[in-house]
Amino acid sequence: MATMRTAAAAIIRVACGVRPLPEAALPSGPCILFANHSSHLDFAVIWAALSPARRAQVRPVAGRDYWEKTRLRRWLAESVFRAVLIERQKVTVTTNPLEPMLAALDAGQSLIVFPEGTRSRDGTLHGFKSGLYHLARARPTVPLVPILLENLNRILPKGDILAVPLIASVAVGQTLTLVPGEAKLAFLDRARASIVALQPS
Amino acid sequence: MHPDRATLMMLAGIAGILVLASAIVGLLKLRQPPGAATPVIVNLAARVRAWWVMAGIFTVALFTGGIGSVILFALTSFFALREFITLTPTRAADHRVLFWAFFVVIPIQYYLVATRWYGLFAVFIPVYVFVFVPIRCALAGDSERFLERTAKIQWALMVCVYFVSYVPALLMLDIPGYAHANARLLLFFVLVVQISDVLQYVWGKLFGRRKIAPTLSPNKTWEGFVGGVASATGIGALLWWATPFSPAQAAALSLVITLMGFCGGLVMSAIKRDRGVKDYGAMIEGHGGVMDRIDSICFAAPVFFHLVRYYFTP
């Protein structure tokens, strides 16, 4: 499986024209990578750009409703990408989406999350849902790393099944953490701005 | 293809130039304090390394009797188009027509080259794709900047696919007294265009003072242009024995393709400046993207092909 994952990462990098991220681009130890979301390929591209050591302990966070729909999706999510599947539709006390994410962080793993909650149709960055804030509040020492993905909505846009082989890019921004006492909206704005700051003017 | 003496001599010449280039880079590195080479030297070393790889791939393709060259240039078109479209803003409604461009237009154009179907090869993209692109875009129902978008896609296909496919198309020319030797013509063309690029760079770095188009391409100087074009034309003339041309004809054709090569480079630079980037990509270390390496081929290939076809085929 490890060889297969390395091969899959190499194929994704070639197909999307993505360069590997240097190890120094990310803080050492567990962290939360948060990115803009416009394509099904988003988490696969971040996953593929990471160093093999980092890839071995990173967990993309994905919606259970989508990734458990077919056998192929379930296999990809569970066996290949080792996703943390969370409830999006009917959140109750027993299906609190935070719990499995916190468990992964406590086990020394890192997370890939998309705070917009769903894919943007036009590639623009939408408002952030509050999940990132709840994560940051529950584990305030874990660094949050903003990531800007470019061109993925042109490669495989929402609602299409045919991919166009353009060149994607993965840019890593300044790490941030929740300031003690910071309000939810202020924090979410700051997190969103850290991705906007990576966009070329 | 069974390599003939003339082809082998040209390849040996290329290998000789690369050995010389590697030796010069080695000497330049020795003159620098250890571990502190200037960016120009580091870039030069990367460029020479990439040249070895490109010459190796090109040679392997040349020896596979035509189909290898067709596949190599089809892949070149694919990667060039990828860089070009990535740099060009398109809209969501263009998605399907772009899918056609990559996975239908490129295979058909190179299929026409491989099967030597000249009549359709010459009009497929300028006529049939030209009408297809706006029809497909119109069906997608987005009229925003319609003319601009379809023009950009058509331009990308002309430059990256149609023009580049003229290089392996040299293999389909039936030149009397030159049967089974067209691979040499292809080698001659690529060698003269690329050596003109290299010599313009070298002359420019050594003697360049007056810039030709500082806003478009700060590295292009009159000294580099004149020196590079003149010396590449001289090399082209000296290679007449490998071609169906006389020395004077070889010189004239070399002059035309080096001038067209220069103009192609200038136009592709203008597009890059318009989009605010320095290189089309980063696929070839030291050179930038595939498009940065073949910008001089794009305009030179169709002109060279049609001149040879008009004057040297019955």
With 0-12 CB in 10 A as exposed, 13-18 as middle and 19+ as buried, what is A190? middle
Q: What is the mean pLDDT of chain B?
A: 92
What's the rounded mean pLDDT across residues B261-265? Answer: 95
Strands (E), B170-285: none
The predicted-structure confidence for B183-221, as pLDDT tens digits, reads as follows 899 999 999 999 999 999 999 989 988 998 888 888 889
- Interface check for A39 against chain B (CB to CB < 8 A): the answer is no
Q: How confident is the model at residue A92 (pLDDT cuts 50, 70, 90)?
A: low
Identify which of B157, B164, B160, B163 has the alpha carbon closest to the alpha carbon of residue B94.
B157
What's the rounded mean pLDDT across residues B132-157? Answer: 94
State the Cα–Cα distance between residues B260 and B257, nearest whole angstrom.
Answer: 5
Residues 263..282 of B with a Cβ closer than 8 Å to A: which?
281-282
State the Cα–Cα distance between residues A61 and A46, nearest whole angstrom.
Answer: 12
The predicted-structure confidence for B114-123, as pLDDT tens digits, reads as follows 999 999 999 9
- Interface check for B80 against chain A (CB to CB < 8 A): the answer is no
* Residue B1 pLDDT > 60: no
Cβ proximity of A145 and A105 under 8 Å: no
* Residue B37 pLDDT > 80: no
Residue B281 C-alpha, separation from nearest chain A C-alpha, in angstroms: 9
* Residue A88 pLDDT > 80: no
Report the range of poorest mean pLDDT among A44-53, A174-183, B34-43, B289-298: B34-43
Residue B135 C-alpha, separation from nearest chain A C-alpha, in angstroms: 19
Q: What is the pLDDT of residue B179?
A: 84
Cβ proximity of A70 and A64 under 8 Å: no
- Interface check for A106 against chain B (CB to CB < 8 A): the answer is no
* Residue A91 pLDDT > 70: no
DSSP code at position A33: E
* Residue B107 pLDDT > 60: yes
Q: How confident is the model at residue A7 (pLDDT cuts 50, 70, 90)?
A: very high
Cβ proximity of B63 and B86 under 8 Å: no
Q: How confident is the model at residue B66 (pLDDT cuts 50, 70, 90)?
A: confident
* Residue A176 pLDDT > 90: yes
Tell me the whole-structure pTM to 2 decimals: 0.91
Long-range CB pairs of A134-141, under 8 A, 24+ apart, other chains included: A134/A98, A135/A32, A135/A98, A135/A101, A135/A102, A135/A111, A136/A32, A136/A177, A136/A178, A136/A187, A137/A178, A138/A98, A138/A102, A139/A102, A139/A105, A140/A177, A140/A178, A140/A180, A141/A177
Q: How confident is the model at residue A1 (pLDDT cuts 50, 70, 90)?
A: confident
Longest dimension (CA), chain B: 63
Q: Which three-class secondary structure state does DSSP give residue B278?
A: coil
What's the rounded mean pLDDT across residues B49-69? Answer: 89
State the Cα–Cα distance between residues B159 and B77, nearest whole angstrom.
Answer: 9
Tokens of B229: 């074009």
* Residues B95, A154: C-beta atoms closer than 8 Å: yes
Instruction: Look at B160 and A79; give whichever has higher pLDDT.
Output: B160
Find tokens 């027509």 and name the residue: B97
Q: Which three-class secondary structure state does DSSP give residue A21?
A: coil
* Residue A84 pLDDT > 70: yes
Q: What is the pLDDT of residue B64?
A: 85
Supply the Cα-derived Rg of chain A in whole angstroms.
16
What's the rounded mean pLDDT across residues A169-178? Answer: 94
Compute CA A109 distance to the chain's CA centroid, rounded to the nearest angstrom. 13
The predicted-structure confidence for B218-252, as pLDDT tens digits, reads as follows 888 999 999 999 999 999 999 999 999 999 999 99
Tokens of B212: 């030709």
Tokens of B184: 């040499």
Q: What is the pLDDT of residue B209?
A: 87
Nearest CA in chain A to B97: A164
Q: How confident is the model at residue A162 (pLDDT cuts 50, 70, 90)?
A: very high
DSSP code at position B121: H
Find tokens 């993905």 and name the residue: A149
Beta strands A110-113; A144-150: pairing state: unpaired
Cβ proximity of B110 and B73 under 8 Å: yes
Beta strands A144-150; A32-35: pairing state: parallel
Q: What is the pLDDT of residue A94?
A: 66
State the Cα–Cα distance between residues B15 and B8, nearest whole angstrom.
Answer: 10
- Interface check for A20 against chain B (CB to CB < 8 A): the answer is no
Compute CA A175 distance to the chain's CA centroid, rounded to the nearest angstrom. 15
State the Cα–Cα distance between residues A72 and B162, nearest whole angstrom.
Answer: 40
Q: What is the pLDDT of residue A64?
A: 87
Q: What is the pLDDT of residue B246?
A: 96
* Residues A160, B95: C-beta atoms closer than 8 Å: yes
Instruction: Look at B250 and B31; give whichever has higher pLDDT.
Output: B250
State the Cα–Cα distance between residues B93 and A113, nearest whole angstrom.
Answer: 28
What's the rounded mean pLDDT across residues A106-120? Answer: 92
- Interface check for B206 against chain A (CB to CB < 8 A): the answer is no
Cβ proximity of B247 and B188 under 8 Å: no
Among A192-196, B211-215, B283-287, the range with the most confident prediction by mean pLDDT is A192-196
* Residue B281 pLDDT > 90: no
Report the range of poorest mean pLDDT among A132-141, A176-185, B26-35, B263-272: B26-35
Q: How confident is the model at residue A173 (pLDDT cuts 50, 70, 90)?
A: very high
* Residues A151, B86: C-beta atoms closer than 8 Å: yes
* Residues A121, B102: C-beta atoms closer than 8 Å: no
Q: What is the pLDDT of residue B230?
A: 97
Report the range of poorest mean pLDDT among A9-18, A21-30, A83-92: A83-92
Beta strands A169-172; A144-150: pairing state: antiparallel
Q: What is the mean pLDDT of chain A?
A: 90
* Residues A164, B102: C-beta atoms closer than 8 Å: yes
Q: How confident is the model at residue A42 (pLDDT cuts 50, 70, 90)?
A: very high
Q: Which three-class secondary structure state does DSSP give residue B284?
A: strand
Q: What is the pLDDT of residue B68?
A: 92
* Residue A175 pLDDT > 60: yes
What's the rounded mean pLDDT across residues A15-30? Answer: 90
Task: Say which of A121, A153, A164 has its CB closest to residue B98.
Answer: A164
* Residues B82, A17: C-beta atoms closer than 8 Å: yes
Cβ proximity of A137 and A178 under 8 Å: yes
CA distances, A123 to each of A34, A116, A156, B25, B91 (Å): 16, 12, 11, 45, 10
Q: What is the pLDDT of residue B61?
A: 87
CA distances, A73 to each of A62, A63, A66 (Å): 11, 11, 8
